[in-house]
Structure 1
Amino acid sequence: MTRRPTGAGSRETDRRQHELEVQVRPVVEGAGFDLEALTVTQAGRRSVVRVIVDSDAGVSLDDIATLSRAVSQELDAGDDGFGSQPYTLEVTSPGVDRPLTDQRHWRRAVGRLVEWVDDGRKVQGRVVKVAGDVVTLDIGGTTREHQRETVSPARVQVEFSKPDGGKEQRS
Structure 2
Amino acid sequence: MAPDRDEVAALVEPIVGDAGLDVDDVSVRRGPGSGETSITVVVDGEGGVGLDALTDLTRAVTARFDEQSWAQEYALEVMSRGVDSPLVLPRHWRRNRGRKAELVVRDADGNEETFTGRIGNLDDETVSIVVNHKGRLGIREVALADVDSAVVTVEFGEPSPAEMKLATGAQP
Question: TM-score, normalised to structure 2's length?
Answer: 0.81
Instruction: Determine the structure 1 residue equivalent to 2:117.
Output: 125
Q: Confirm or deny: 8 A CA contact 1:101 1:152 kept in the other structure.
A: no
Amino acid in the other structure paired with 2:75? T
Name the CA distance, whole Å, in 1 between partners of 2:25 and 2:79.
10
- Give RMSD over aligned pairs: 2.2
Candidates 67, 81, 84, aligned match of 1:77: 67
| 1:97 aligns to 2:93 (yes or no) | no
| Number of aligned residue pairs | 155
Partner of 1:19 in structure 2? 7
Taking the TM superposition and a 5 Å limit, the aligned residue runs for 1:34-53 are 34-44=22-32, 45-53=35-43
Equivalents in 2 of 1:115, 1:51: separation in Å? 26
Q: Is the 8 A contact 1:34 1:55 kept in 2?
A: yes
Deviations 1:31-50 (A, max 9, x none): 11101111111245111110
Render the CA deviation track for 1:44-91: whole Å, top value 9, x for unaligned. 51111100000111000111000000000110123xx122x2111000
Distance of aligned partners of 1:162 and 1:87 in 2 relative to their CA distance in 1, 3 Å threshold: same
- Give percent identity, aligned residues only: 34
Is residue 67–residue 91 contact of structure 1 (8 Å, CA) maintained in 2?
A: yes
Partner of 2:98: 111
Q: For 2:98 and 2:43, locate their aligned partners in 1 and report how far apart those are by CA, in whole Å.
A: 21
Counterpart Cα distance in 2 of 1:160 and 1:124 = 15
C-alpha distance in 1 between matches for 2:93 and 2:148: 9
Give the 3 Å change call, closer, same or farther, for CA 74–150 of structure 1 in structure 2: same
SS in 2 for 1:91: strand
Using structure 1 for the length normalisation, give the TM-score.
0.82
Offset at residue 103 of structure 1 (A): 0.6
After TM superposition, the runs of 4+ consecutive aligned structure 1 residues lying more than 2 A away are 118-121
Matched, 1:154 2:154: no
The CA deviation at 1:170 is 5.9
Q: Is the 8 A contact 1:126 1:139 kept in 2?
A: yes
